[in-house]
């Protein structure tokens, strides 16, 4: 196997690994966006703008569709947490080394224009406050890849398929924005005390 074949195989494997944690979020009529399984007990993270509608449904990677309930939402940081009544799911593995460096490869997963489980690749431009969003409360990952409707809330992963952020929006030609992993972790710890409780479904079924 030559170097190019090896790189292709490794990237495809990273996508396949992350796809197991990718979900589609809809309001029962048409797709609204994507999300990612944070824990095996049905905890999902996504963008707040993906869950504005009621009667949410989540379709897992195996095609199973379940009703979902919003646990927390912060429009300011564009983050939301949902839960579904399921266990033993394939949770995403977060990247341990941080921060990312400019030039590192990343892949965005989602369902752009209804294409289920699609992937697109690019490199990290930088981490900071983009001039297009001066009021955003924090830094964003700026990446050189195309995010389309249906990518929102899906995982941005590294070359191993490990989560580095959540896809958010396009900021201009060939520039996408993603919410960095530390910001996602902060949101979950603040709103749901993710390190201190089991979400399970003792708060009621979705």
Strands 155-157 and 140-143, bridge-based pairing: unpaired
CA distances from 7 to 4, 17, 105, 142, 162 (A): 5, 15, 11, 23, 16
* C-alpha torsion sign, points 147, 178, 36, 85: negative
Angle 19-161-176 from CA coordinates, rounded to 5°:
85
Active site residues: 49, 78, 152
Please, are residues 134 and 169 in contact by the beta-carbon 8 Å criterion?
A: no
**CA 90 to mean position of chain CA atoms:** 14
Tokens (6 digits) for 17: 């690994």
């Amino acid at each position: 196997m030559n170097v190019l074949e090896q790189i292709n195989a490794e990237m495809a494997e990273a996508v396949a690994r992350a796809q197991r944690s990718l979900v589609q979020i809809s309001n029962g009529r048409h797709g609204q966006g994507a999300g990612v399984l944070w824990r095996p007990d049905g905890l999902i993270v996504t963008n707040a703008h993906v869950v504005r509608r009621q009667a949410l449904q989540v379709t897992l990677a195996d095609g199973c569709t379940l009703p979902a309930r919003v646990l927390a939402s912060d429009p300011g940081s564009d983050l939301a947490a949902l839960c579904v009544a399921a266990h033993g799911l394939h949770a995403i593995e977060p990247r341990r080394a941080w921060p990312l460096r400019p030039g590192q490869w990343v892949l965005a997963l989602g369902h752009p224009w209804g294409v289920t489980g699609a992937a697109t690749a690019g490199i990290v431009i930088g981490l900071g406050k983009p001039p297009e969003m001066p009021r955003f409360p924090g830094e964003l990952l700026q990446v050189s890849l195309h995010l389309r409707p249906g990518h929102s809330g899906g995982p941005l992963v590294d070359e191993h398929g490990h989560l580095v952020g959540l896809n958010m929006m396009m900021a201009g030609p060939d520039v996408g924005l993603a919410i960095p992993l530390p910001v996602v972790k902060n949101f979950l710890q603040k709103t749901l005390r993710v390190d201190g409780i089991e979400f399970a479904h003792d708060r009621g079924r979705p």
